[in-house]
Chains A and B, each alone.
Chain A
Amino acid sequence: MACCTTGAALLVSRETFRIPPIKGPKMSVDEKMARRIATLARIGVSDAQLPALAKELSAILGFVEQLSELDTTGVKPLTSAVETTMMGREDVINDGGYPADVLANAPERDDDYFAVPKVVE
């Protein structure tokens, strides 16, 4: 809260986001959970890396959890911090028609299709 009262606060100091010491032996993310998060995000993580990752993720969650100290009864969830309504587009076709650009980065292609290792249900 106090960080935004002066213009100088725009330059966020390292102090502001210092991760506070975790109270007690709280490990909200264990190694099993860390493995699951890595799998869901399709990130390759070796078993040796897991303990450190679990500890780091737990620390981050612990930091964020400080927010729960605030009483938010009756406060609506904030989906956006911008006080404006979403702008829309007209229902007009004004894009597309460049398959070569769309496929430019494809590791593999066949005619104008992306070609990927077979995924079959």
Chain B
Amino acid sequence: MTNKNLIAGATGDWEIVLGLEVHAQVSSNAKLFSGAATEFGAEPNTQVSLVDAAMPGMLPVINQKCVEQAVRTGLGLKAQINNYSVFDRKNYFYPDLPQGYQISQFQQPIVGEGVIDIDLDGGEVKTVRIERLHLEQDAGKSLHDQHPNMSFVDLNRSGVALMEIVSYPDMRSAAEAQAYVKKLRAILRYLGTCDGNMEQGSLRADVNVSVRRPGDPLGTRCEIKNVNSIRFIGQAIEHEARRQIDIIEDGGSIAQETRLFDPKNGETRSMRSKEEAHDYRYFPDPDLLPLSFSQEFVDTIAASLPELPDDKKARFIADYGLSPYDASVLVSEGENADFFEAAAAGRDAKATANMVIGSVFAGLNKAGLSISESPVSAEQVGQLVDLQSNDTVSSRIAKEVFELMFEEGPDQGKDPAVIVEEKGLKQVTDTGAIEAAVDEVIQANPDKVEQARERPKMAGWFVGQVMQATGGKANPQAVNKLVMQKLGLEE
């Protein structure tokens, strides 16, 4: 079996081995151990309690909601839930870490092993194992570009709850790592445990990259810190793998280190300041008791889990007869799937899926709108599918009607039937009228007729001309049939 993921070096093929640590900000009103707000974008240091600022004598008190969100996420990852876990101090010095340590979980995390099925090209599915999920505090934010020789520190993020989700090194290509982050993000968003907003830093990935000869033991890895977009994850991996291969092929060896990805030049570089900091001297936080909860608490959360992307995809394929590809596009966001289901209710689901993916998503993408801002409602999309299904309009005119509705926006939003009526877009099925149009085109182009007899594919040109002459309103099947007849070609 050939392995399509291998990359060629000067001295033979190499395999990339990837494991990801994703930091996902827990969706909660208040922080993990204080009552300060978590909302993004506030004025500096306005969402900081004296606990978050690490004033002497302040004690952490855990936010129950964050515990619930971590358990909910663990259940969504089909993972082992640990009813007993322990918070530890991870010690290091940095200006945006006022405590001098991060409260995290080391040996006894709240969630153990789980799995994520990732969707690859061609409908292939691969299972990536999750090693653990633990709760920890975020640090503050340092700004380095505001002053020539000072760094500015904002502690608003300090103490916000994060879930660190660690995978096993099961991925073998940049595409797999990207599919993993996409799927994890979708699951978190379905669960409502993290908003998945990568631009605002709610979801960031540390990528562990190593290379080896196929079949060899694992190579030495480098960790690329804080990559904050799916595109950058791909670029960082491609660059880092190539860098490691070049070093090894030149007779060198890889030093285990932490690296940074620079989006400006698409390269990774060493983070020297972290070299000495790897001795974190973890120990149980004496300010916090172990975290324990009942099985009943877990069961209650399990009973309230929503339908997750994989289950929804399976249902769309089984109940609506959609292709795996269409189904996975529709379920990537819960709101998109809801929109589709509302539009498809009681009508041709495949035609609806085509219109939702081909027209609605494409239009929203182009306009930079989210599904909740769609100028065309799910109900109107459904009506338009009906007009197409009962041959009132051709698929081409349906697209045009959609664009008209989209441009008019939700305020003037006319139903599709009204637009078809007003603009006179009803499909012409009257064979006499179509025949006349076909005759006209044939008479005007005797040279093309000759060519078409030699090369029957030319018939398509005639169909196009007739469609144009009738403003796209002629029934394409009827036009096709007549053109073939008149040209004396087999259909």
Binding site for B on A (CB under 8 A): 36, 39-40, 42, 79-80, 82, 84-97, 99, 101-103, 108, 110-121
A42 to chain B, nearest CB (A): 6
The 7 closest A-B pairs by CB, nearest first: A91-B65, A96-B36, A95-B35, A113-B152, A95-B49, A88-B64, A86-B289
B292→A120 contact, CB < 8 A: no
Q: Which residue of B lies closest to A42 (CB)?
A: B93
Return the CB mask of B173-207 against A: 1 if under 8 Å, else 0: 00000000000000000000000000000000000
B50, B64, B271: the one within 8 Å of A91 (CB): B64
B152→A110 contact, CB < 8 A: yes
Q: How far is the CA of A102 from the CA of B86 in the complex (A)?
A: 29
B159 to chain A, nearest CB (A): 10
Give the tally of cross-chain contacts (CB within 8 A).
137
A113→B62 contact, CB < 8 A: no
Binding site for A on B (CB under 8 A): 28-30, 34-37, 43-53, 61-67, 86, 91, 93-95, 142-144, 146-147, 149-155, 260, 271, 273, 276, 279, 281, 284, 288-292
Interface residues of chain A: helix, strand, loop or mixed (majority): loop
A91, A102, A114: the one within 8 Å of B30 (CB): A91
Q: How far is the CA of A101 from the CA of B53 in the complex (A)?
A: 10
Q: How far is the CA of A89 from the CA of B60 in the complex (A)?
A: 10
Q: Which residue of A lies closest to B44 (CB)?
A: A112
Q: How far is the CA of A74 from the CA of B288 in the complex (A)?
A: 24
Q: How far is the CA of A32 from the CA of B155 in the complex (A)?
A: 35
Residues of A within 8 A of B143 (CB): 113
B63, B152, B273: the one within 8 Å of A89 (CB): B63
Q: How far is the CA of A120 from the CA of B67 in the complex (A)?
A: 34
Q: How far is the CA of A112 from the CA of B46 in the complex (A)?
A: 9
- 22 pairs across A/B with beta carbons < 8 Å? A39-B276, A85-B292, A86-B288, A89-B63, A91-B29, A91-B63, A94-B30, A96-B36, A96-B47, A99-B46, A103-B45, A108-B150, A110-B147, A110-B150, A111-B44, A113-B44, A113-B146, A113-B152, A114-B45, A114-B155, A115-B150, A118-B150
B70 to chain A, nearest CB (A): 13
Q: Which residue of B lies closest to A106 (CB)?
A: B153
Q: Which residue of A lies closest to B95 (CB)?
A: A116
Residues of B within 8 A of A97 (CB): 46-47
Residues of A within 8 A of B154 (CB): 113-114
Residues of A within 8 A of B35 (CB): 89, 92-96
